[in-house]
Amino acid sequence: MQLKSIEIIGFKSFADKTRINFPAGMTGIVGPNGSGKSNIAESIRWVLGEQSAKNLRGSRMPDVIFSGSTDRRSLNMASVTLTLDNTDQFIKTPYSELKISRKLFRNGDSSYYINENQCRLKDITDLFMDTGIGQGSLSIISQGNVENIFNSKPIERRSIIENVAGVYKYKQHKLTAQKE
């Protein structure tokens, strides 16, 4: 499984349609302070279902939509699409290429897509659960996060380890089964 590219439109500082390709190997993103490096990492977390505006350094979710600059009006919509190569079937789905998209309008309307078919957030969460790349996973460590992990309570740290070890999914299944 490999991240092939990301397309960002109207998300944070990316007013224009921006496509970033990730060729095989390692990719580094460099740039001056405030140029948008963290915004790229946040756009990946967002499309994978991040629900906390605070985790994206905002107070409400529409804060992720481009809010205008000295020479540009604000936009009404943010959209991010992640393209993943899944030829190795790392993610258990018949698709060899996966396109995951999320859109948000200023009025709060929001939608998710898997390969251009509208879906629920849950479909995306389920797809990535225990792959180590989904919502809340540790594949993306934001600034200040390492410190938070060190300072977390044992029970929180346990849940981080369970997530990394891939047992979280089974705990969720158990909880659902117990409720039924």
- The string of DSSP letters for 83-134 reads EEE-TT--SSSS-SEEEEEEEEETTS-EEEEETTEEE-HHHHHHHHTTTTSS
Give min distance, CB of 13 to ligand ATP, in A. Answer: 4
Give min distance, CB of 34 to Mg ion, in A. Answer: 8
Q: Per CB under 6 A, does 36 bind ligand ATP?
A: yes
CA dihedral 18, 24, 30, 34 (to 10 degrees): 40
Q: Tell whether residue 55 is among the known ligand binding residues.
A: no
Q: Per CB under 6 A, does 31 bind ligand ATP?
A: yes
Contact pick of 67, 139, 142, 159 for ligand ATP (by CB under 6 A):
67
Rounded Cα distance between 112 and 116, Å, is 9
Rounded Cα distance between 128 and 140, Å, is 14
Contact pick of 5, 38, 139, 172 for Mg ion (by CB under 5 A):
38
Query: How far is residue 28 from each of residues 65, 74, 127, measured CA to CA in Å?
Result: 25, 29, 27
Considering only residues 133 through 172, tell me which ones interact with ligand ATP, judged by CB under 6 A: none
Q: Per CB under 6 A, does 18 bind ligand ATP?
A: no
Judged by beta carbon distances under 5 to 8 A according to partner kind, the member of ligand ATP, Mg ion, none in contact with residue 35 is ligand ATP
Beta-carbon count within 10 A of 120 CB = 11
Closer residue to ligand ATP (CB): 56 or 82: 56
Give CA angle at 129 (126, 133), nearest 5°: 125
Q: Tell whether residue 37 is among the known ligand binding residues.
A: yes
Q: Per CB under 6 A, does 35 bind ligand ATP?
A: yes
Q: Per CB under 6 A, does 66 bind ligand ATP?
A: yes
Q: Per CB under 5 A, does 159 bind Mg ion?
A: no
Closer residue to ligand ATP (CB): 46 or 66: 66
Question: Using the 8-state DSSP alphabet, how is residue 32 labeled?
Answer: -
Look at the alpha carbons of 30, 129, 8, 147 in this order and tell me if their dihedral is positive or negative: negative
The residues that touch ligand ATP, with contacts defined as CB under 6 A, are 12-13, 31, 33-39, 63-67
Which residues are documented as binding site for ATP? 32-39
